[in-house]
């Protein structure tokens, strides 16, 4: 009986030792797999190149946005130019003669383009009624304004935008080409590592499971 217990204890110790070595071997291979196939540099570079690709795809939309913004500015400039052609002194507004017009000019308000309610209210002697008269005059002139799309953007403005976008496209393409090679090299390294480690991990896992079964049987004796 004592002999059987001793033999059982020895078998259990041997089985445990085999299982422990199998577990360590399997864990080392798993760690190797994680370190080799989960390349942080690969992920970072891949995301960087993805950002470059998206930036390239967005250039066309950006061009349209910039041209549209340029058009809005041109419309504003045309309106200002239109209003600047009408001087307050020439408007013949009620109770706003040469003296008051001179006072407005001293405050930087000479044409309809300069007329702003809050600015004029700060001038001594100009109350709400007189200010409203000036604002109404400006509004009447604004209604007479006709936007001229032909003046929307000059060829020089469009060329400036296109040159800027062309430079950016060239730089983005350069960066993209520079990153593709290293990314492909990293990808090949990862694929090769997986191909090398996969059968080793599968064998180590099977050995671990077999050792566990043997250990369980030994513990039952």
Would you state the pLDDT for residue 4? 38
Q: pLDDT tens for residues 123-142? A: 999 999 999 999 999 999 99
Is the predicted pLDDT of residue 5 greater than 50, yes or no? no
CB 121 within 8 A of CB 131: yes
Q: What is the pLDDT of residue 150?
A: 56
- Mean pLDDT across 15-25: 87
Confidence label for 73 from pLDDT (cuts 50, 70 and 90): low
Instruction: Give the orientation angle of helix 155-219 with respect to helix 40-83, to 10 degrees.
Output: 150
Q: Which residues pair with 87 in a beta bridge?
A: 111
* Confidence (pLDDT) at 8: 52
DSSP 50-114: HHHHHHHHHHHHHHHHHHHHHHHHHHHHHHHHHHTTSBGGGG--TT--HHHHHHHHHTT--BGGG
Mean pLDDT in the chain? 85
pLDDT reading at 219 higher than 80: no
């Amino acid at each position: 009986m004592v002999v059987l217990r001793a033999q059982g204890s020895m078998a259990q110790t041997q089985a445990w030792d085999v299982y422990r070595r199998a577990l360590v071997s399997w864990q080392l291979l798993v760690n190797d797999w994680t370190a080799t196939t989960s390349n942080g540099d690969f992920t970072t570079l891949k995301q960087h190149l993805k950002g470059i690709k998206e930036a390239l795809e967005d250039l066309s939309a950006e061009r349209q946005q910039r041209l549209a913004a340029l058009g809005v500015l041109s419309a504003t400039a045309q309106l200002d130019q239109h209003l600047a052609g009408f001087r307050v002194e020439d408007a013949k507004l009620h109770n706003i003669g040469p003296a008051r017009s001179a006072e407005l000019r001293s405050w930087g308000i000479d044409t309809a383009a300069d007329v702003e309610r809050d600015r004029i209210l700060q001038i001594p002697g100009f109350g709400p009624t007189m200010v409203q008269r000036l604002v109404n005059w400006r509004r009447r002139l604004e209604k007479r304004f006709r936007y001229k799309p032909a003046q929307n953007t000059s060829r020089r403005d469009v060329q400036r935008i296109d040159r800027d976008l062309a430079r950016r496209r060239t730089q983005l393409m350069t960066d993209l080409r520079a990153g593709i090679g290293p990314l492909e090299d990293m990808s090949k390294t990862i694929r090769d590592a997986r191909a090398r480690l996969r059968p080793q991990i599968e064998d180590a896992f099977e050995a671990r499971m077999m050792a566990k079964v043997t250990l369980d049987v030994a513990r039952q004796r």
